[in-house]
Amino acid sequence: MDQNMNSTREGLISGSGAIQHKAYARVGLLGNPSDVYFGKTISFSLANFWASVTLEPSPHLIINPHPIHDLVQFDSLDHLVNRLQSEGYYGGVRLLMSICKLFHKHCKDNNINLSPGNFTLSYDTNIPRQAGLSGSSAIVCAALSCLLDFYKVRHLIKVEVRPNLILSAEKELGIVAGLQDRVAQVYGGLVHMDFSKENMDKLGHGIYTPMDISLLPPLHLIYAENPSDSGKVHSTIRQRWLNGDELVISSMKEVADIAAEGKSAILEKNYQKLAELMNRNFDLRRRMFGDECLGALNIEMVEVARRVGAASKFTGSGGAVVAFCPEGPLQVKRLEDECRKAGFSIQAIQVVPSCLNDVDLKTLSK
């Protein structure tokens, strides 16, 4: 490490005042997508992929475009069109702008004084696009951490509130999402989340309970190189839920109950039960959303794992799958072989430990 950089629990701060933070991809292990429907979930941060944001003091406030993800120079019209078809129209600049705006608004609304001074923000990410791994919110989360340290207000903005702030910055841009991803990325590690209506109405956020990551069995991530857009997969479910659709309401409650059961299974290291719950979680999602909405490629990722007897479900809304091989290494080998044949990437999952430092912990509700 550069001798001019000081390592801290929450990031890197250089002698020149530059601040750097990482936020990691998220895996929804159980209960998703009930977080948007006053449910419960269990999620964890994935060390395999991350986004990093660097803040450097500067005379003017500058948002630096990424040389790849915010490309504006092309070799030809074909190059531009192919690029848009594979990567979409948006990079990370709009995310950085939005969190700056919403951070400023939050501080103003809560009488948190911000000292004068400008900065330059830049970002990088290796989280696969549109893979249901919360790549957008990782950029926003890392940027928020930089702003908290630059303005020295980390102690004034509670940890429980930060996921709401991140989500509001994404909603500003029309991104379809729930709180669970942002909670996992703010907290790090493995977290059980209770988004009951009572908690949300009373507190404005859920009840978030960190769990020991060593309780998890070995898990694997399966993902496609060109998945569908996870933001489109929520489809008409929200409206059906609001309209009182009995199938959606009862299924969402059952999905939330899966997270509650999963918490007990993980604490007891009852991995056979965990496998059953993972499979049940996906089956309920499939029943609610339907195959056309989920997409053939996404369903095939789940089926590839199930063909070798592994438990599997979406990490988010599609694009990637979390798989568990209860029979051990030989089953993992069969899963790897099947994934290669199907053209999917597979990696052993590494879980990030808690991201919270002493200052963060003091802000938590007792």
For residue 27, what are the β-bridge partners? 44
CA angle 50, 36, 312 (to 5 degrees): 60
Is the omega angle on the peptide bond into residue 227 within 30 degrees of 0, that is, cis? no
How does strand 40-57 pair with strand 62-63? Answer: unpaired
Contact 120, 55 (CB under 8 A): yes
Go through 273-312 and write b for each residue having 16 or more CB atoms within 10 A of its CB, e for each that does not.
ebbbbbbbbbebbbebbeeebbbebbbbbbebbeebebbb
Contact 320, 133 (CB under 8 A): yes
- Cα separation, 3 vs 101, whole angstroms: 34
Contact 44, 184 (CB under 8 A): yes
Long-range own/partner contacts, residues 162-165 (CB < 8 A, 24 or more apart): 162/186, 163/205, 164/204, 164/205, 165/99, 165/102, 165/103, 165/106
- Tokens describing residue 325: 């091989």
Neighbours of 127 (CB within 10 A): 21
Residues tagged active-site: 181
CA angle 34, 36, 39 (to 5 degrees): 40
